[in-house]
Structure 1
Amino acid sequence: MRNQIANKVVVITGASSGAGRATAFELAEEKAFLVLASRNEQVLEELAEECRKIGCEVLVAPTDVTDNTAMHRLAVKAFEWKGRIDVWVNNAGVLAAGTFEEMPWEAHQKVINTNLLGYMSGAHAVLPYFKRQGEGILINNISIGAYVSVPYGGAYTASKFALRGFFESLKGELTGWSGIHIVDLFPAFLDTPGIQHAGNYTGKVLKPSPPVYDPRIVAHSVKSSILYPKSTRYPGGASLLFKIGHSLAPEWMSKMTGLLMKGYFKVADPAEKTDGNLFQSVDFSMSTNGNSRPRLTPHGRRMLGLGLAGAAIGLGLYMLSGKRNA
């Protein structure tokens, strides 16, 4: 079964919408055995039926990733279904936006519990099975937010930075387990319903910052990671360039993103404050795409790449010049 996806048991958390849903469809086409997990059982059942029509077998497993006991039950259920777990995709995540001190403390906690501890809990649940089998692939949909901070999203940023550190540590711990792979995905901004589901304490309508990519780029990266596992992938060319820009001038990047956010909030339409899907699942916009604009066209991607590359080179030369003059 090496280098193929058919009949591999794949667990996907956060499968009900966005990148998780796109990944389910992608792997259904490859005839994987899918274990779909999220808090919304009704939506999972609808997704499972669509995947079965494509021609794959599906197990629905309603699960809250903030509950470690439930995550271990998910692993047991997946293993007992087919006698093994080949791939585990950590994907469930939430977003909360607002001024740090004005946002409810419980919202900060929920973001950390879902985005950070939920992923750690997934690893905690599945690694014993991988070690028993001597093989397995753990794929983490982390986000470029692990390198570039999100002003007014402090807990989100903390969770993503921490995920990068945790999985780097775990990769070192698994040295010697040649059949076990951890793959971290760092996509740029995605056109998912996630921003519509977000906890929003800003009083303004939230929109993703361009460039905005189709979530299928994550699904394609998951597929590639199963076939050819590698430590890191950057779905959407912009994310790697953002990482390079941050490594060259982190303070400049933070100030610029902060100024951009402040500028947006000055002109954004008003919106009611809401907890979104932080504390319970929602029943709207449970789709793959969120229909955000602007989408990034091929020409736009080329122009963005050239612009970011030029900015990175310019920043690098500027910093080198500063060091020489010091």
Structure 2
Amino acid sequence: MKSKSIADKLRGKTIVITGASSGAGRAAALEFSKYQVNLVLAARNQAALEEAADECRELGADVLVVPTDVTDPKAMINLANAANDWQGSIDVWLNNAGVLAAGPFDEMPMALHEQVIKTNLLGYMNGAHAVLPFFKKQKAGVLINNISIGGFLPVPYGSGYTASKFALRGFSEALKGELTPWPGIHVCDLFPAFLDTPGIKHAANYTGKELKPAPPVYDPARLAQAMVEVAAWPVATKYIGSVSPLLKFSHALFPQLVTNTTAWVMRRYFKVAKPIALSDGNAFQTVDYGMSTHGVSGIPGEPKAHRKYLAAAVIAGVLAGVFFARR
């Protein structure tokens, strides 16, 4: 049983959040604000950051806004210095900023694939590189990496995204081993399932079709609550949503089958989805729409039970089919 409450553990702590202008990052900022913390909010969209900061102050947090592009190593060092200068320490660093690009691999510019990797992988590495000197000086700190189940489950038509997430998981695992001589420094990886955030609406889209998240879709507030818990009581790995470990387990058992089935489902969806113009989304620069915590699915709160059971039944059916086919 935890002897201290979250409020006791976090009150007065300095917490840096990247990608705080919308989606899971903004939801995390609001959730942390309930515990009278010092928040440093970072993203490219300053106007959206200022709006988020006002909401957080109303909930009781002190807030510093630092517009930052995570792909710029010098900007990330500046972010860490600003946070440390503001309150004299950095207690939690939440790597969260990310972008998505969807479409056939060879029909998307290589510059776009590179930008996805620069944001989703190098952005997290830049964050860790900037904050670790402070953590080592303090001999304490919590580094949280919001990776997603995409770190285990390939996303066909999202090859650059998959490359970044698989590599990010490997980077974080290596970093954990390297930091074992520093018991007060914790590296925590989060693997949420599909979230109802504006991220998919912001995505670079070369499919020519409107993108929607696959059910069950989870409320980003659920991930935000997990982030707060991990900041208070660090753990190496945490899965958010019952579907997340189920998808990981399925792919571990039958990797090619699950990948091929996912690609088939996506191709079927593209045949009936609403046409949309090709776009680079927010990959190269920020956008001025959808700067909220929630996205387009219209499924706030807990995912409906029948959707969870349906997803589980489909996966179980696939696994059972393969098992009997092999026999």
Cross-structure match for 1:129: 134
- Among 303, 306, 320, the alignment partner of 2:309 is 303
Cross-structure match for 2:204: 199
Work out whether residues 28 and 54 of structure 1, in 8 Å CA contact, stay in contact via their aligned partners in 2: yes
Distance apart, 1:227 and its partner CA = 1.6
Work out whether residues 193 and 241 of structure 2, in 8 Å CA contact, stay in contact via their aligned partners in 1: yes
Confirm or deny that 1:314 pairs with 2:313: no
- Among 49, 58, 80, the alignment partner of 2:85 is 80
Measure the CA separation in 2 of the matches of 1:22 and 1:66.
Answer: 22
- Among 158, 162, 170, the alignment partner of 1:165 is 170
Confirm or deny that 1:60 pairs with 2:65: yes
Cross-structure match for 2:117: 112
Confirm or deny that 1:4 pairs with 2:9: yes
Measure the CA separation in 2 of the matches of 1:149 and 1:73.
Answer: 34
Work out whether residues 201 and 296 of structure 2, in 8 Å CA contact, stay in contact via their aligned partners in 1: no
Distance apart, 1:307 and its partner CA = 2.2
Letter in 2 for 1:12: I
Distance apart, 1:313 and its partner CA = 6.6
- Among 91, 94, 97, the alignment partner of 1:89 is 94
Distance apart, 1:315 and its partner CA = 6.9
Structure-to-structure mapping, 1:14-33, within 5 angstroms? 14-33=19-38
- Among 239, 257, 260, the alignment partner of 2:265 is 260
Provide, for residues 262-284 of structure 1, a one-character-per-residue CA deviation record: whole Å limited to 9, x for no partner: 10001111001111111110010
Work out whether residues 38 and 92 of structure 1, in 8 Å CA contact, stay in contact via their aligned partners in 2: yes
Identity %: 55
Measure the CA separation in 2 of the matches of 1:315 and 1:136.
Answer: 47
Provide, for residues 3-48 of structure 1, a one-character-per-residue CA deviation record: whole Å limited to 9, x for no partner: 6111110000000000000000000011110000000011111111
Per the alignment, in what secondary structure is the counterpart of residue 69 of structure 1? helix
Measure the CA separation in 2 of the matches of 1:302 and 1:66.
Answer: 36
Measure the CA separation in 1 of the matches of 2:68 and 2:13.
Answer: 21
Provide, for residues 169-214 of structure 1, a one-character-per-residue CA deviation record: whole Å limited to 9, x for no partner: 0001111211010000000011000111111111111111111111
Per the alignment, in what secondary structure is the counterpart of residue 223 of structure 2? helix
Provide, for residues 36-66 of structure 1, a one-character-per-residue CA deviation record: whole Å limited to 9, x for no partner: 0000011111111111111110000000000
Cross-structure match for 2:46: 41
Work out whether residues 15 and 93 of structure 2, in 8 Å CA contact, stay in contact via their aligned partners in 1: yes
Measure the CA separation in 1 of the matches of 2:234 and 2:132.
Answer: 16
- RMSD between aligned residues: 1.9
Distance apart, 1:297 and its partner CA = 3.4
Work out whether residues 216 and 311 of structure 2, in 8 Å CA contact, stay in contact via their aligned partners in 1: no
Confirm or deny that 1:286 pairs with 2:269: no
Measure the CA separation in 2 of the matches of 1:285 and 1:220.
Answer: 22
Figure out how many residues of one structure are paired with residues of the other and give that number. 321
Letter in 2 for 1:73: N
Question: So what's the TM-score if we normalise by structure 2?
Answer: 0.94
- Among 175, 179, 182, the alignment partner of 1:174 is 179
Provide, for residues 225-268 of structure 1, a one-character-per-residue CA deviation record: whole Å limited to 9, x for no partner: 01211100011111011001111110111000000011000111
Per the alignment, in what secondary structure is the counterpart of residue 39 of structure 2? strand
Letter in 2 for 1:121: N
Question: So what's the TM-score if we normalise by structure 1?
Answer: 0.94
Measure the CA separation in 1 of the matches of 2:177 and 2:225.
Answer: 26
The unaligned stretches of length 5 or more in structure 2 are none
Distance apart, 1:286 and its partner CA = 0.2
Work out whether residues 218 and 303 of structure 2, in 8 Å CA contact, stay in contact via their aligned partners in 1: no
Measure the CA separation in 2 of the matches of 1:302 and 1:214.
Answer: 14
Confirm or deny that 1:237 pairs with 2:225: no
Letter in 1 for 2:263: G
Measure the CA separation in 1 of the matches of 2:271 and 2:319.
Answer: 32
Cross-structure match for 2:150: 145
Call closer, same or farther: CA 1:313–1:196 in 2, change over 3 Å: closer
The unaligned stretches of length 5 or more in structure 1 are none
Measure the CA separation in 2 of the matches of 1:128 and 1:301.
Answer: 45
Measure the CA separation in 1 of the matches of 2:308 and 2:103.
Answer: 33
Work out whether residues 68 and 121 of structure 1, in 8 Å CA contact, stay in contact via their aligned partners in 2: yes
